[in-house]
Amino acid sequence: SMNGKDDLEKGISQEDIFLQKPRFRISIYGLFVPLIAAPVPIALILCIYACYHYDHQFSEYGEVLPSISEITGHHPERYIWRYSVGVYSGVKILFDVLVWYFLDDEYKRNKHSFVSYFHNINLLRLIFVECENLSLYLLVFVGSNENFPIHRNGFASFLFFAHIGFIFHLYAWYLAKKPFSAESRKYFIRRLTLATLHAICLVLVLYLYYRWEDYHEQYMYSKFAFFEWILVGLNILYHIQFIFELPKDITLHLYKKENTDSKIK
């Protein structure tokens, strides 16, 4: 129970809590996967529809797909996007802290890994990931037509902190899990693949934006926007891997006592 100390002070033992029949039970997958994986794709669909419905021109060159900068420059698209990022980032901040505790616990239980600087690596991972979250807020809540330099710097810092966070996370995972089991190796390779694809996509985004800004080739901005959305999708996929790395039997239980108070195990 998360409130075990209060329970003991009230004369309620842990055994009494665990013997009660849960009033409500939900899998951690059912609770958190929709909150992390769903908001951004749903917002993308709604924003593209809104762009066409309100006849918002994506650019003066007649592009067919809006970028994040274009979305944050119009309404109601900016409000849809900001709401979805608020939901996603709020849950992600909780998960970033859980990953910190999870890796720290895995390292302590690993009898084969003794590295004095592990906790520093894990802490740096958390710091860079939270900086990524702050950059995402800056990117989304300061529109390109409101203050373009700040918006641009928010996007650049988001990409920078994301990639540095990936590196520290992969290294912390390696230290905490070595020697790898078959399952741990699978998860590590999956994360490494997503991080590599993210880096490749970043290079394409920068190249396509350069081609559009310098040569104004038709549909070049739409290509840039497409890979920008792929970049965002890969970022989300990387972070939600933590959910699948947890034990499959984790559930959230809601109990009800005789005095109608609720407890969460």
Q: Mean pLDDT throughout 144-162? A: 90
Q: Are 127 and 168 in contact (CB under 8 A)?
A: no
Say which residues have a Cβ less than 8 Å from residue 51's Cβ, sequence separation at least 6.
58, 66, 70, 71, 74, 77
Q: Mean pLDDT throughout 42-65? A: 72
Residue 196 predicted with pLDDT over 90: yes
Q: Which residues pair with 262 in a beta bridge?
A: 256
Tens of pLDDT, residues 3-48? 344 444 444 444 444 445 555 566 666 667 777 778 888 888 888 7
Query: pLDDT value at position 8?
Result: 43
Task: Identify residue 25 by its one-letter amino acid code.
Answer: R
Q: Are 204 and 227 in contact (CB under 8 A)?
A: yes
Assign 254 to helix, strand or coil.
strand
Backbone phi, then psi, for 104, in 5-degree steps?
-65, -40
Return the higher-pLDDT residue of 70 and 129.
129
Tens of pLDDT, residues 68-95? 887 777 788 888 888 998 888 888 888 8
Return the higher-pLDDT residue of 152 and 59.
152
Task: Kindly report each contact of residues 213-221 with a partner whose C-beta sits within 8 Å and lies 24 or more positions away, as own/partner.
Answer: 216/61, 218/61, 218/62, 219/63, 219/64, 221/58, 221/59, 221/61, 221/63, 221/67
Q: Identify the band that residue 177 occupies on the pLDDT scale cut at 50, 70 and 90.
A: confident
Q: Identify the band that residue 121 occupies on the pLDDT scale cut at 50, 70 and 90.
A: very high
How far is C-alpha 12 from the chain's CA centre? 38
Quote the percentage of the chain above a pLDDT of 70: 75
Say which residues have a Cβ less than 8 Å from residue 81's Cβ, sequence separation at least 6.
43, 47, 68, 71, 72, 140
Query: pLDDT value at position 5?
Result: 41
Angle at 45 between CA 40 and CA 48, to 5 degrees: 115
Assign 255 to helix, strand or coil.
strand
